[in-house]
């Protein structure tokens, strides 16, 4: 028996986590540098982003779960005789992985017979969420901890996440782009297409106009996935732009001839404070059954 745990980078809601029988170590949000609110617990994502929209000068800080947070989450399960499979946001974006490793090291002394496996998703948001969903499916299919971790690590290499932003304002607030880039990009209506590459955010391209961006993204997804439609799991996320996300989901389903089973996800603060309201994210990964070794 083992317990699946993820940090809040996966953007699962509390209700979803309960339903799927996993635990979440939430990220912290601080508006003033002093008070730290647990995302999804002390503050709803929607409220967080609405505050970001209403206060133009605001750039809240996010912080990873501390080692003590992980210790508090792991301990009851270890006491109950369960091992732990813990998934974290990309270690290149956050210290969550290090916190989990530190916690596991500390707990190893008290629970030498228990196994704690920490997996660095090298991903974020719905990309991390897809890996987590596959881990949960493997757990429910009866895979033991070792095998689950083994396949999860293979799934990382098949997971892609892309996102497009409605405004460059939040990248500017976060210091990721300069004021001139934000100003000129805004005038020219540039929509950056960002991706996660080797665990880090990079810019794939710049496209003029939101509508054009969504059209080109749809074409690129069809091109990348047309031969794999039965082998992949796909997820769509958004920040305060549910209508666009629904329209994008319908367009993708029609283009690929599939039904996207995963719920549309509200992207959390870890990536959302840089992407800002209006952002759309889409991710895909292979289903674990399609990994050759799964059948051996």
Asked if 94 contacts 9 with a C-beta cutoff of 8 angstroms, the reply is yes
Query: Closer CB to other proteins, residue 67 or residue 185?
Result: 185
Query: Closer CB to other proteins, residue 184 or residue 246?
Result: 184
What CA–CA distance (Å, rounded) separates 209 from 5?
Answer: 39
Tell me the window of 62-70, 109-117, 256-264, 282-290 that interacts with other proteins (CB under 8 A).
282-290
Q: Rule CB under 8 A: which of 208-237 touch other proteins?
A: 208, 216-217, 219-225, 228, 231-232
CA distances from 162 to 14, 108, 194, 229, 257 (A): 24, 37, 6, 18, 21
Question: Shortest Cβ distance from residue 83 to other proteins (Å)?
Answer: 29
What CA–CA distance (Å, rounded) separates 209 from 103?
Answer: 46
Residue 254 binds to other proteins (criterion: CB under 8 A)? no
Question: Shortest Cβ distance from residue 175 to other proteins (Å)?
Answer: 9
**What sign does the CA torsion over 25, 163, 54, 30 have?**
positive
Q: Which residues of 31-40 are buried (b: 16+ CB within 10 A; e: fewer)?
A: beeeebbbbb
Token digits of residue 285: 């990964």
What CA–CA distance (Å, rounded) separates 191 from 19?
Answer: 36
Query: Closer CB to other proteins, residue 68 or residue 212?
Result: 212
Query: Closer CB to other proteins, residue 25 or residue 191?
Result: 191
48, 143, 163, 284: residue in contact with other proteins (rule CB under 8 A)? 284
44, 115, 205, 251: residue in contact with other proteins (rule CB under 8 A)? 205
Query: Closer CB to other proteins, residue 45 or residue 287?
Result: 287
Tell me the window of 78-86, 138-146, 153-161, 263-271 that interacts with other proteins (CB under 8 A).
153-161
Strands (E), the chain: 2-7, 23-25, 28-30, 37-38, 61-63, 83-88, 116-120, 160-164, 190-197, 200-208, 232-238, 265-266, 280-286
Residue 184 binds to other proteins (criterion: CB under 8 A)? yes
Q: Rule CB under 8 A: which of 164-183 touch other proteins?
A: 176-178, 180-181
What CA–CA distance (Å, rounded) separates 238 from 279?
Answer: 6
Q: What is the CA radius of gyration of the chain?
A: 19
Question: Shortest Cβ distance from residue 230 to other proteins (Å)?
Answer: 12
Question: Shortest Cβ distance from residue 181 to other proteins (Å)?
Answer: 5
Asked if 192 contacts 210 with a C-beta cutoff of 8 angstroms, the reply is no
Tell me the window of 47-55, 100-108, 114-122, 158-166 that interacts with other proteins (CB under 8 A).
158-166
88, 159, 235, 265: residue in contact with other proteins (rule CB under 8 A)? 159
Query: Closer CB to other proteins, residue 53 or residue 220?
Result: 220
Residues forming the site for other proteins (CB under 8 A): 158-160, 162, 176-178, 180-181, 184, 188, 190, 193, 204-208, 216-217, 219-225, 228, 231-232, 284-286
């Amino acid at each position: 028996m083992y317990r699946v745990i993820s940090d809040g980078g996966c953007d699962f809601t509390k209700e979803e986590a309960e339903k799927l029988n996993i635990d979440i170590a939430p990220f912290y949000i601080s508006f003033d540098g002093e008070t730290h609110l647990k995302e999804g617990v002390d503050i709803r994502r929607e409220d967080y982003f609405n505050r970001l929209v209403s206060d133009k000068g605001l750039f809240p800080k996010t912080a990873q779960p501390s080692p003590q947070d992980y210790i508090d989450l792991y301990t009851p399960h270890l006491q109950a005789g369960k091992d732990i499979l813990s998934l974290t946001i990309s270690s290149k974006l956050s210290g969550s992985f290090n916190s989990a490793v530190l916690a596991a090291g500390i707990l190893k002394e008290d629970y030498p017979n228990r196994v704690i496996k920490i997996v660095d998703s090298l991903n974020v948001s719905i990309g991390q969420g897809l890996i987590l969903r596959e881990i949960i499916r493997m757990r429910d299919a009866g895979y033991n901890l070792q095998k689950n971790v083994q396949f999860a690590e293979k799934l990382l290499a098949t997971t892609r996440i892309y996102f497009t932003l409605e405004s460059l304002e939040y990248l500017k607030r976060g210091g990721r782009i300069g004021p001139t880039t934000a100003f000129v990009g805004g005038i020219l209506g540039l929509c950056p297409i960002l991706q996660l590459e080797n665990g880090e955010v990079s810019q794939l391209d710049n496209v003029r106009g939101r509508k054009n961006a969504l059209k080109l993204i749809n074409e690129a997804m069809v091109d990348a996935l047309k031969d794999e439609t039965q082998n992949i799991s796909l997820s769509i996320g958004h920040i305060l732009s549910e209508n666009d996300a629904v329209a994008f989901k319908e367009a993708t389903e029609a283009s690929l001839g599939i039904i996207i089973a995963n719920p549309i996800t509200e992207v959390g603060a870890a990536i959302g404070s840089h992407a800002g309201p209006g952002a759309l994210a889409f991710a895909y990964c292979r289903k674990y059954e399609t990994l050759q070794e799964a059948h051996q």
